[in-house]
Amino acid sequence: MPLAILFGALFTVAVSTALGALVLGRCCEDWGVRFVTGGAVLSLTVFLLCAAGFVYPVAFLALAIVLRPKFFRTRLPRLPKVYLSIFGLFFVLYLFNAMAPEFSFDGSRYHLGLVGRYLREHGFHRITDNLYASLSQGIEMLFLFAYAFGKHSAAAMVHLAFLVALAWMMFAYGRRTGYPAAGAAGALLTFASPLVGVDGTSAHNDIAVASIAFALFYLLELWSEVGGLRLLVAIGFIAGFAYAAKYTAWVAVPYALGFVAWKSRRVRDVAIVAACASVMILPWMAKNWMWVHNPVAPFFNGVFPNPYITVAFERGYRHSLATNGRFPWELGPVFLLAPLGLLALRMKEGRHLLLAAAVFGVSYFSNVSARFLLPSLPFVALAMGLVLSSIPQLAMAVVLLHAVLSWPSILRRYAAPDAWHLVKVPYREALRIKPEDGFLQSNLPDYGVTRMVEQSTAPGSAIFTFRPIPEAYTSRRILVAFQSAENLIRQRTLYTGFVEEYAPVWRLAFSFPRQRLKAIRLLQTGRSANDLWTMHEIRAFDGTRELSRDWQLTGTDPWRLGHLVDGDLYSFWVCGDTLRPGQFVQAGFARVEEMDSVRIEASPNQWALRLELDIEDENGSWHRLSGLPQTSSVPAPVDLWRSAEAQLKRSGVDYLLMFDGEFGADVARKMGLQVAEYRGARLYQLR
């Protein structure tokens, strides 16, 4: 197992380096830059294999025959032994943590969950019930390459390679600009940061984005001095790779284009960078456009309406990401000295570094998690290094202090209990002397639940849950409530079975003099930041006779309108945005109909709902009826939960996973046959 992990990671690094050498030639022989540049090309190659449905280890091995991967020697600056010792000490810490079983929250839930799915299915398949599948996954393509041979830990090792490449490039930049001590200090301030260490040894992508950002900066600086077509091509690839790696790194593209335009003032040079960046970006946008009708899913759903992510969910999701920030102590207390980096403005190199820090830090405010500062961190650290290195002894003292404060046994004495950091050097876990399963049971929340799901359900089963579990360790399809519009509807369906406010017991009736009509329109005029407009059925009557409902339905949210006329009281339509004036649902009749009333069957959990009725007469003129609808309630069926269970089953759910203490957990025991239980997590099979 350890050999498979090392092979998967090193093979990925070797192929990436070889591809980088093909792109850069002799323009840049720095290993870190070649690795990142080649990583962009390899990521695109794996994407194409996924699109073709040809993801097999043998296809990846074939690249070794074509490229004959090899590493390239790069001369490093002479550094004080203290600096080299610090780097070596933290590298050992990071190596064993990366090789240990993957137990990071995001890595075990969706980064590697999707990677494992692509390998099992030999490529991409349309996924509309998991918003994370729509994010650009450029780094996950490299994880997939390594995962095919060494599974989860090999992917984390690839991320560690990006961290090593980042430190390597920072050393090299300091040497090339004539400030080797500043490069060494900045690289070690970054490399030893607790947050950098834990992120860079997990199957995340933040350190990879930081490495891509710095490689782009490095190549732009190099191109501004020596020029060359190969460098422009590499700049374009890396700028596009930043977007492909993480949406928040989109700023790399205007940064690269602006820099080249400013320095060159030649349309040809800008066009080359733009074209190469597009090669990396457009495949991800095309995939989303074809499958979820939104090239930048799961965001901007108001611009690109679709039935898979609602506008209301996106608004709440963005708000949650942009709030509850705090000072990122996980970076290390020494970064309280970061304002010293402003003194580097007196130097050209300092100005360029701080501009890059500002550019790559601009997206932090869209997600105030400390991880989103990492793309800016290398530039800030190098600016600090430029200032501190003017007094070499001071620079060394600060680096030593930072290393001591960042070591796990010291860090836990002052860090917040929930601070994300490494704990120890897990050599027994990395070498699998300690069994992987036991380690994960102890360190990965809900790992045991995942194993229960894997062992108690049939292959291909779909399990609905409110709480995400480590999907990377199961082959089953996990449907998490908040991850798509489909799943949110499944959640509301489940609530229909036991929450009175969600039950279809509310009746709203519009009555008017009998007349011949061509269409009716329900207009919503209320406003609420929380309520969603929901209807189960719309019915029209001529006296006591109900009219047939072969209607043409249109509306503000046109998806799932068919549920309003399907005759099933327990299916429903829900508008994707919260209540605002102007929302409507319109029914056009196949022929002119005589009628005198319209009835809406709905749930009462929409307290701000205000409906008016417009009618179109046989001459094609629209009129608004005066007055509000009459409201009433009917008793809920005693076995409503059985209807909700049947509706969930029809929506594709095979099992329901509930945790003791969750809302509705007690009622869920009536909705299916319990087939397994693990420490308060209960698995029910729907009948």
Per-residue pLDDT of 477-490, as tens digits, reads 999 999 999 999 99
Q: What is the tens place of the pLDDT at every residue in 257-309?
A: 999 999 998 999 999 999 999 999 999 999 999 999 999 999 999 999 999 99
Query: 323 pLDDT band (50/70/90 cuts)?
Result: low
Q: How far is 20 from 38, CA to CA, in rounded Å?
A: 4
Overall average pLDDT of the 368-391 stretch: 92
Number of folded domains that form the chain: 3
Q: What is the pLDDT of residue 366?
A: 78
Q: What is the pLDDT of residue 120?
A: 96
Q: Are residues 558 and 654 in the same domain?
A: no
pLDDT at residue 360 above 60? yes
Q: Are residues 575 and 470 in the same domain?
A: no
Q: What is the pLDDT of residue 76?
A: 58
pLDDT at residue 41 above 90? yes
Q: What is the pLDDT of residue 673?
A: 83
Average pLDDT of the residues of the chain: 92
Higher local confidence (pLDDT), 637 or 337: 337
Q: Which of 591, 613, 633 is the last residue of a domain?
A: 633
Q: What is the pLDDT of residue 669?
A: 74
Q: Are residues 544 and 492 in the same domain?
A: no
Q: What is the pLDDT of residue 327?
A: 59
b/e sequence 254-281, b meaning 16+ C-beta within 10 Å: ebbbebbeeebeeeebbebbbebbebbb
Structural domain for 520, as ranges: 504-633
Q: Are residues 384 and 532 in the same domain?
A: no
pLDDT at residue 326 above 60? no
Query: How many other CB atoms are found less than 10 A from the CB of residue 347?
Result: 16
Q: Are residues 628 and 653 in the same domain?
A: no
Token pair 């070498």: residue = 431
Q: What is the pLDDT of residue 73?
A: 59
Phi, psi of 23 (to 5 degrees): -75, -45
Beta bridge partners of 33: none
Q: Are residues 337 and 458 in the same domain?
A: no
CA 100 → CA 1, 165, 356, 488, distances in Å?
Answer: 11, 21, 34, 35
Q: Which of 493, 491, 472 is nearest to 483 (CA)?
A: 491
Query: 325 pLDDT band (50/70/90 cuts)?
Result: low
In this structure, is residue 527 part of a structural domain? yes
Q: What is the pLDDT of residue 687?
A: 82
Q: What is the pLDDT of residue 75?
A: 60
Higher local confidence (pLDDT), 2 or 162: 162
Q: Are residues 335 and 481 in the same domain?
A: no
Q: What is the pLDDT of residue 100?
A: 96
Whole-number percent of the chain with pLDDT over 90: 80
Q: What is the tens place of the pLDDT at every residue in 76-104?
A: 556 677 788 899 999 999 999 999 999 99
In this structure, is residue 609 part of a structural domain? yes
Q: pTM (2 decimals)?
A: 0.93
Token pair 């709440």: residue = 316
Q: Are residues 602 and 676 in the same domain?
A: no
**Which strands, in side-by-side order, build the sheet including 462-465?**
477-480, 462-465, 655-659, 681-685, 673-678
> In the structure encoding, which two tokens stand for residue 179, read together?
């400030």
- Whether the CB-CB separation of 509 and 547 falls below 8 Å is answered with no
Q: Which of 386, 411, 436 is the last residue of a domain?
A: 411
Q: Are residues 601 and 462 in the same domain?
A: no
pLDDT at residue 666 above 70? yes
b/e sequence 113-122, b meaning 16+ C-beta within 10 Å: bbbbbbbeee
In this structure, is residue 5 part of a structural domain? no
Q: What is the tens place of the pLDDT at every residue in 531-553?
A: 999 999 999 999 999 999 999 99
45-59, 314-328, 384-398, 668-682: range with lowest mean pLDDT: 314-328
Per-residue H/E/C for 170-203: HHHHHHHCCCHHHHHHHHHHHHCCHHHHHHHCCC
Overall average pLDDT of the 98-119 stretch: 95
Overall average pLDDT of the 177-204 stretch: 95
Distance, C-alpha 527 to centroid of its chain: 31
Overall average pLDDT of the 216-221 stretch: 97
* Cβ-defined contacts of 40-43 (< 8 Å, 24+): 40/138, 40/212, 40/237, 40/238, 40/240, 40/241, 40/244, 40/280, 41/16, 41/237, 42/12, 42/15, 42/16, 42/141, 42/142, 42/145, 43/138, 43/139, 43/141, 43/142, 43/241, 43/244, 43/280
Q: What is the pLDDT of residue 626?
A: 81
pLDDT at residue 143 above 80? yes
In this structure, is residue 648 part of a structural domain? yes
Q: What is the pLDDT of residue 451?
A: 96
CA 14 → CA 170, 183, 262, 322, distances in Å?
Answer: 21, 25, 35, 38
Q: Are residues 111 and 203 in the same domain?
A: yes
Overall average pLDDT of the 446-467 stretch: 95
CA atoms within 13 A of residue 207's CA, in its CB half-sphere:
28
